[in-house]
Structure 1
Amino acid sequence: MTDSDIADPGLAQAGVRRVDWADRAMPVLRAIRERFAVERPLDGLRIAACMHVTTETANLLRTLQAGGAEVAVAASNPLSTQDDTAAALAVSYGVSVFARSGVDMDTYYRHIHAALDLAPHLVVDDGCDLVNILHTERLDLLPGVLGGCEETTTGVLRLHQMAREDALRFPVVAVNDTATKRLFDNRYGTGQSTLDGVIRATNTLLAGKTVVIAGFGYCGRGLAERARGFGAHVVVTEIDPVKALDALLQGFRVETMDEAARHGDVFLTATGNRDVVNTAHFAVMKDGAILANSGHFDVEVDVRGLAGLAVDVQRVRPHADEYLLEDGRRLVLLCEGRLVNLAAAEGHPAAVMDMSFADQALTCAWLAATHEGLAPGVHQVPDHIDAEVARLKLASMAVDIDALTPDQADYLSSWRSGS
C-alpha cells in the first residue's frame, strides 16, 4: 500500500469491482489510457490532484499513471469520498490517497498538504483549494509547478480573480469551460445526479411539487430540465437577465428568491455564490421545505443562519437534518449544505464523466508538452482536444457524422462568393 490516509484498506477489493464497473461506461478514457501506456506523455512527472475520490476519478488517475506519472490525490470535499474507491487506489493501483469520508476541516486541509508533499509538476484541481494553498502556504513548491487543470465553475471563477490580481504563478487550463465538459457533465451529469441525491436523501415525490432552482447556468439548466421531467413545477431564480430570459422562453417560471421562498417545496442552489438562500427566505418558507446545494462549496445555503434560527436540530435520515424553528415550522437541510449529488448519491454517471476526464487526461499531456510557451494565467482547452474527445465518444456509440466536401470547406473559408 502507498503512503496514504484512508478509512479501511480492507475495502480495496470491493473498490476495485466498482472502479471496473465505472470503467465499462468510460470507453473514451479507456482508449486514451491504452494510448498513454504506449506513448508515455507524462513520463517522469509528478501530479497532485484535489478531486472527489469516486470510481470515475479513479479511472482518470489510472490513466495519468499509464502515461508515466506518479500520482497523489486528496479529496476536494469532506463528504464526497467513496472509502472503498480510496482503498482500491491506495492498495491496488499504487496511488497515494489522502481521503476519508466525513473528515473535519482540519483533516481536509491536512490531506491537501499531504498530496502537495509530492512536490508536483502538474496539479489537477476541483474548486481551486489546492491551487490556493500552493499560492498561500506552500510557496516553496511553486517554482516546480509547470501547470494545472481546473474542472469546476467555482474554481475557474477563483482562478480568474487570481489572474486579475497577478497572483496566479503558473498556467492553469479551465477544463470546465470546454464544450465536452460543460455541455454534458454540468448539464446532464449535474441534473441527474443532484435529483438522485435529493431522492435518496428524502424519498420525496417530485411530481407536483414546486422545485426552485437558483442559477440557470449549465448546471441549473440541467437541474431544471430533469426536475420538469419528474413532473415538478419548476421556478428559476437568476441575477443575469439573459439567463433569466432563456429560462422564461424555455417555459420555466422566473421569480426572485424572495417570491419563490414563499411557495417552494424543494430548493436547489447551483450558483457558485454565497447566501443565495438566507435567513430572510427561511423566515417565509413552508413547513417541510427541503434545502439542497449542488454548488461546489457549502456557502450557497446560509447554514449558520439557519442554525441560529433553530430551536432544535434532528438528523431524521442519513443525509437529512431537520431544523425546528420557533414557530413550529421544520426546514430540512440535506448533506449539511454540501454537494448533495456526491454526499447523498454517487456523483455524475460514469458515461458523462468519461468525456470530462478524457479532457483532463489529454490536457495534462498537452501541458506537459507545451508548458514552456504558456504564460501564467487561465487558458482554454485547445479546440483539437475538445473535438477529439467528441469524436471518440461518438465512435464509442457507433455514431457517424458527415464531413465537409472540399467545395464546402472552400466555401466556408472564402469571402469572395456572393449571394
Structure 2
Amino acid sequence: MESPEQARFDAYFRRITGEFPTTGDVSSLIITHLLPERPAFLSAMARTTVVAAVLPKPRSINPATLADIQHTYHVVDLSRETFADPTTALGFLEDTVAGRDVVLLDIGGYFAPSLYTLVAKFSGRIRGVVEDTENGHQRYEALGPLPCPVFSVARSPLKHCEDHLVGRSIVFSTEALVRTRGDILTGRAACVIGFGKVGRAIAQTLRADDLRVTVFDTDPVQRVLATSQGFRTTASRTEALHDAELVLCATGNSALRQRDFAALRNGAYVASVTSSEDELELGTLAGLYQRTTVSPQLTRYEMTGHYFYVLADGGAVNFTHGASVGTYIHLVQAEIIAATAALSCSDHAAGLHKVPPSERRTIASIWLDHFTG
C-alpha cells in the first residue's frame, strides 16, 4: 500500500478513535483478515486497547502485511480447534491476557463454543465480544442465553455496503479462476444457495453478467424474496443443483453435504463465500472421489462417471484476489471500534447488542467527509 493511502486511512481512524474513546485498561484479542488495509485498523485498536494478540484467519493472510505487523504485534496462528475446546481456549487466554479485562474481536464465531467457560473461569474479565459476520452472529445466537454482552455488527446498515461489494468480488474471483481452464461463465446456468445479503448480491451480479440464475434457500421467506426479484427458485436443494454449471454457496452453514455432491452435474464449478468447514463437507469425499490439482486454486473431483471442480479448496473464493471492497470496509471497522469502546466504558447486560443508530450516523458522516467530501 502506498504511503499516502496509509496516511489517509490513519487520519480517518484517528477521527474515529477520537469520537469513540475507551476508558480503563482494556486488552483485546483480535481475529482478523490480514489484508493490506488492515494495519490502519490494528493501529486504531492499539490506540484504544492493549492488543494482546492478533489471530489472522488462515486463508486471508497477505504475506507482506503479515511480515509488517509481526514487528509490532504478537501474532498467533488461528484454528477452530483452539477455541472449540474450552480447556484449550481458557489456557490460551491465561497464557496471553491473564488477570486482565479483555474484549474479544471475532470473525465467524470462533469464541462461541468456549464462551461460557471463558466467562466463568478466566482469571481476568471478559468485557464482551464484538462479532463481524452473519455466520458468527448465528453461532452466538444459537448459544441461547449468553454469559456476557456480544455486540454484533453483522446486520448493521453500515455493513450492507460491504456485503454488496463482497458479492461482486465473489463473482469476479470465480470468473477469474474458471478462466484458468480457458472457460467463461457467460450464458451458463448458475445456482446460488443462500439468499442472504451476500447471496443476494451474488445472484444479482451473476444475472447482470448474463448467467441464468436459480436460487435455493431453506427459508421460504427468502425464496419468496428471490422470486419477487425475478429469480427462479426451487423447493429442494437437489433440484437447484441438477442443471447448474456453477454453484455458489452462501449459507455459512453446510450448503453442500456428501449426498449433495452426487447431485452435481458433470463439469460443474463449486465455490464458497466463507470457510470451507462452514459451507462444504469436502472431508466426506475422501476415498470416494479422486482429487486432482488443475491449477493452484482449482481442484477436480472425480469418481466413475462423475466429476466436478472446487474453487480455492472450498474456502472463500474472493480471498484469492484480495477480497477488496475499497474504503467501505472502514465503515464496519469503525463500528467495531465503537462497539469496543462501549464495552470498555460501561457494563452491559449479557446478550446480543448493536451499536446505536446515532453512532452509526456519526461514523457514516465521518466516512463521507473523509473519503468523498
**TM-score bin (small chain):** 0.7 to 0.9
Q: Deviations over 1:105-129 (max 9, x none)?
A: 6799989975774325111001111
Larger strand percent: 2
Residue 105 of structure 2, aligned match among 118, 121, 124: 124
**CA distance in 2: counterparts of 1:186 and 1:34, whole angstroms:** 24
**CA distance in 2: counterparts of 1:142 and 1:186, whole angstroms:** 37
Q: Deviations over 1:247-277 (max 9, x none)?
A: 1121211123211212111111111222x22
Q: CA RMSD in A?
A: 3.0
2:372 counterpart of 1:393: no
Q: Which residue of 2 aligns with 1:302?
A: 281
**CA distance in 2: counterparts of 1:320 and 1:364, whole angstroms:** 39
2:260 counterpart of 1:281: yes
Tell me which moved more, 329-338 or 126-135. Answer: 126-135
Residue 339 of structure 2, aligned match among 363, 370, 374: 363
- Write the mapping of 1:336-415 to structure 2, written as runs, cut at 5 A: 336-342=313-319, 344-370=320-346, 372=347, 374-398=348-372
Q: Which residue of 2 aligns with 1:9?
A: none
Distance 1:35 1:191, change over 3 A: closer
User: 1:213 Cα shift?
Assistant: 0.5
Q: TM-score, normalised by structure 2?
A: 0.86
Q: What are the ranges of 5 or more consecutive residues in structure 1 without an aligned counterpart? A: 1-16, 400-419
**CA distance in 1: counterparts of 2:355 and 2:20, whole angstroms:** 21
Distance 1:363 1:369, change over 3 A: same
Tell me which moved more, 375-384 or 280-289. Answer: 280-289
2:249 counterpart of 1:269: yes
Residue 171 of structure 1, aligned match among 140, 145, 149: 149
Is the 8 Å Cα contact of residues 186 and 222 (structure 1) preserved in structure 2? yes
SS in 2 for 1:58: helix
Is the 8 Å Cα contact of residues 35 and 61 (structure 2) preserved in structure 1? yes
**CA distance in 2: counterparts of 1:61 and 1:116, whole angstroms:** 22
2:224 counterpart of 1:253: no
Q: Deviations over 1:341-400 (max 9, x none)?
A: 22x221242322111111111221122112x2x11111122111221222223334546x
Is the 8 Å Cα contact of residues 56 and 77 (structure 2) preserved in structure 1? yes
Q: Deviations over 1:77-100 (max 9, x none)?
A: x32222221211121xx2221248
Q: Which residue of 2 aligns with 1:209?
A: 188
**CA distance in 2: counterparts of 1:345 and 1:237, whole angstroms:** 27
User: 1:331 Cα shift?
Assistant: 0.9
User: 1:231 Cα shift?
Assistant: 1.8
**CA distance in 1: counterparts of 2:45 and 2:4, whole angstroms:** 19
User: 1:137 Cα shift?
Assistant: 6.7
Q: Which residue of 2 aligns with 1:412?
A: none
Is the 8 Å Cα contact of residues 20 and 337 (structure 2) preserved in structure 1? no
Distance 1:273 1:348, change over 3 A: same
**CA distance in 2: counterparts of 1:151 and 1:105, whole angstroms:** 20
Is the 8 Å Cα contact of residues 195 and 216 (structure 2) preserved in structure 1? yes
Q: Deviations over 1:2-35 (max 9, x none)?
A: xxxxxxxxxxxxxxx37x58747x75x7423245
2:210 counterpart of 1:236: no
User: 1:184 Cα shift?
Assistant: 1.4
SS in 2 for 1:309: coil
Distance 1:116 1:348, change over 3 A: farther
Q: Deviations over 1:220-254 (max 9, x none)?
A: 11111121222211111012222111111212111
Is the 8 Å Cα contact of residues 28 and 103 (structure 2) preserved in structure 1? yes
**CA distance in 2: counterparts of 1:288 and 1:116, whole angstroms:** 49
**CA distance in 2: counterparts of 1:305 and 1:51, whole angstroms:** 28
Distance 1:375 1:106, change over 3 A: closer
**CA distance in 2: counterparts of 1:116 and 1:134, whole angstroms:** 14
User: 1:144 Cα shift?
Assistant: 1.3
Kindly, what percent of the aligned residue pairs are identical?
22
Q: TM-score, normalised by structure 1?
A: 0.78
Q: Which of structure 1's runs of 4+ aligned residues deviate more than 4 A?
A: 20-24, 37-40, 103-116, 136-139
Q: Deviations over 1:51-99 (max 9, x none)?
A: 22222333221111123533421123x32222221211121xx222124
Is the 8 Å Cα contact of residues 142 and 169 (structure 1) preserved in structure 2? no
- Write the mapping of 1:105-124 to structure 2, written as runs, cut at 5 A: 117-119=95-97, 121-124=102-105
- Write the mapping of 1:72-83 to structure 2, written as runs, cut at 5 A: 72-76=53-57, 78-83=58-63
Letter of the structure 1 residue corresponding to residue 304 of structure 2: E
